[in-house]
Structure 1
Amino acid sequence: MKSLIETIVEPLVDHPADIVVTEREEENKIVYHLQVHENDVGKVIGKNGRIAKSIRTVVYAAGMKSNKKIYLDIM
Structure 2
Amino acid sequence: MKALIETIVNPLVDYPEDVDVTVEETDYKIRYHLTVHEQDVGKVIGKNGRIAKAIRTVVHAANTNSSKKVFVDIM
The yes-or-no answer on 1:2 pairing with 2:2 is: yes
Matched residues, number: 75
1:65 Cα shift?
1.7
Structure 1-normalised TM-score?
0.98
The CA distance in 2 between the partners of 1:65 and 1:51, in whole Å, is: 24
| Unaligned segments of structure 1, at least 5 residues | none
For 1:1-75, list aligned pairs within 5 A: 1-75=1-75
**RMSD over aligned Cα atoms:** 0.5
Deviations 1:22-41 (A, max 9, x none): 00001100000000000000
Structure 2-normalised TM-score?
0.98
- Large movers: runs of 4+ above 2 Å: none
| Unaligned segments of structure 2, at least 5 residues | none
